């Protein structure tokens, strides 16, 4: 009888080494062996060892860190040890905790590029990205405002299509609420411009396909308006009447269960699951028109529970829903809960198949 091959591992990218990424990675391996089992860190061995040493408690040894040479080596690392693959060139200079720096941005960005390419080659089940700092990423010369756009570019290049041919969307989710964004990391002025018929319809299509696979049924999608009171019949803006409602109608004609546009100050409350019962709200997911409109409600419910999922990629990618927290980097106070939830969600999505989140 032939032995069954082990499933591909999950890679956790280091994040910005000047932030809390290395610390929450170490804490996740220590606190949640069920979530980290079968995972390894794609990053810098020295940064992880520094974090492990900083977290040593009196009378206890540091959590051991093992350098691996190949992805396959992660499976042989003992449970009480953190496997790290040196995915990038080590820092050329000392990384100061809590400070924006081009060298830290280089390491963070190159870790994501390495993991994305490995996942696109089929060598990884999923990638979970620890937080990077957008200013540091820009200082290192990366022409992307964040993880989502960098991953989109890598996936498009792998597929041999233009970036526009690889539409992606950001979903933030916890056990009470899910929200998907029409636009991501752009100014508010540009986000308003991005509320187009095509953009809203594409978001509804991506959301429907991704959530249908996750839930095993067609999702109930509530669509938020852009303006106060969803425009109040055109009194406070015409985008709902001229753009959003026609896009919803087109989506419904395709069999997508979408409704709205709803007043953005109440639609999230209507979608929120109650009493610990999953998907007990009026909607399974809310499509929000721009970044903060969608993220504030989810983060208000608890940053430690939220997970960021990129929809539309030909790979599974999740991340914690918080940033680098430079103000507490190195203090030992960072909470790994969101990273642990991101790991658990990545495993669930990967188990559903490689095309779980793909839009087409």
Rounded to 10 deg, the angle between the 337-351 and 21-31 helix axes is: 70
The domain in which residue 327 lies consists of: 1-167+313-360
* pLDDT reading at 63 higher than 90: no
Q: Are residues 154 and 179 in the same domain?
A: no
Rounded to 10 deg, the angle between the 21-31 and 45-54 helix axes is: 70
Domain assignment of residue 341, yes or no: yes
Tokens of 166: 């690889």
* pLDDT reading at 358 higher than 50: no
At 353, is the pLDDT very low, low, confident or very high (cuts 50, 70, 90)? Answer: low
Q: Are residues 240 and 259 in the same domain?
A: yes
pLDDT at 231: 75
For residues 223 and 289, what is the distance between their CA atoms, to the nearest angstrom?
Answer: 8
Q: Are residues 16 and 137 in the same domain?
A: yes
Q: Are residues 211 and 348 in the same domain?
A: no
Domain assignment of residue 307, yes or no: no
Residue 282 CB contacts under 8 Å (≥ 6 apart), including other chains: 220, 222, 270, 271
- In the chain, the percentage of residues whose pLDDT exceeds 70 is 96
Domain of residue 277, CATH code: 3.40.718.10
Q: Are residues 339 and 248 in the same domain?
A: no
For residues 237 and 226, what is the distance between their CA atoms, to the nearest angstrom?
Answer: 8
Cβ proximity of 54 and 25 under 8 Å = no
Q: Are residues 237 and 289 in the same domain?
A: yes
At 101, is the pLDDT very low, low, confident or very high (cuts 50, 70, 90)? Answer: very high
* pLDDT reading at 229 higher than 50: yes
For residues 317 and 13, what is the distance between their CA atoms, to the nearest angstrom?
Answer: 11
Q: Are residues 329 and 249 in the same domain?
A: no
Name the pTM for this structure.
0.90
Mean pLDDT value across residues 135-153 = 95
pLDDT at 80: 84
pLDDT at 5: 60
CA dihedral sign of residues 73, 75, 81, 86: positive
Domain assignment of residue 225, yes or no: yes
Nearest Cα residue to 287 out of 349, 337, 338, 243: 243
Geometric angle at alpha carbon 274, from 271 and 279, rounded to 5°: 55
For residues 324 and 172, what is the distance between their CA atoms, to the nearest angstrom?
Answer: 17
At 57, is the pLDDT very low, low, confident or very high (cuts 50, 70, 90)? Answer: confident
Q: Are residues 321 and 280 in the same domain?
A: no
* pLDDT reading at 355 higher than 60: no
- Taking all residues of the chain, what is their mean pLDDT, rounded to a whole number? 92
* pLDDT reading at 95 higher than 80: yes
């Amino acid at each position: 009888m032939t032995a069954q091959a082990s499933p591909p591992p999950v890679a956790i990218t280091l994040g910005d080494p000047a932030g809390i990424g290395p610390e929450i990675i170490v804490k996740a391996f220590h606190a949640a062996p069920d979530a980290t089992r079968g995972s390894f860190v794609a990053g810098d061995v020295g940064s992880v060892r520094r974090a492990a040493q900083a977290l040593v408690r009196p009378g206890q040894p540091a959590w051991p860190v093992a350098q691996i040479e190949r992805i396959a080596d992660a499976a042989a690392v003992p449970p009480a040890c953190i496997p790290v693959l040196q995915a990038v060139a080590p820092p050329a200079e000392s990384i100061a905790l809590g400070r924006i720096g081009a060298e830290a941005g280089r390491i963070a960005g190159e870790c994501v590029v390495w993991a994305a390419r490995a996942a696109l080659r089929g060598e990884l089940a999923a990638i979970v990205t620890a937080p990077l700092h957008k200013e540091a990423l820009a200082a290192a010369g990366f022409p992307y405002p964040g993880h989502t756009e960098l991953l989109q570019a890598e996936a498009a290049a792998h597929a041999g299509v233009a970036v526009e041919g690889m539409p992606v969307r950001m979903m933030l989710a916890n056990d009470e609420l899910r929200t998907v964004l029409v636009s991501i990391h752009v100014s508010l002025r540009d986000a308003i411009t991005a509320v187009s018929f095509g953009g809203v319809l594409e978001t509804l299509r991506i959301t429907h396909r991704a959530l249908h696979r996750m839930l095993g049924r067609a999702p109930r999608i509530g669509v938020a308006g852009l303006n106060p009171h969803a425009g109040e019949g055109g009194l406070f803006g015409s985008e709902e009447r001229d753009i959003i409602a026609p896009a919803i109608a087109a989506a419904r004609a395709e069999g997508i269960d979408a409704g709205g546009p709803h007043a953005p100050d109440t639609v999230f409350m209507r979608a929120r699951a109650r009493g610990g019962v999953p998907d007990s709200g009026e909607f399974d997911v809310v499509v929000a028109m721009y970044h903060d409109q969608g993220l504030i409600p989810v983060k208000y419910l608890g940053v430690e529970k939220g997970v960021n999922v990129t929809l539309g990629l030909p790979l599974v990618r999740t991340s914690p829903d918080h940033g680098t927290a430079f103000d507490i980097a190195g203090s030992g106070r960072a909470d790994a809960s969101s990273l642990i939830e991101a790991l658990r969600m990545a495993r669930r999505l990967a188990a559903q198949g490689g095309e779980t989140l793909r839009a087409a």
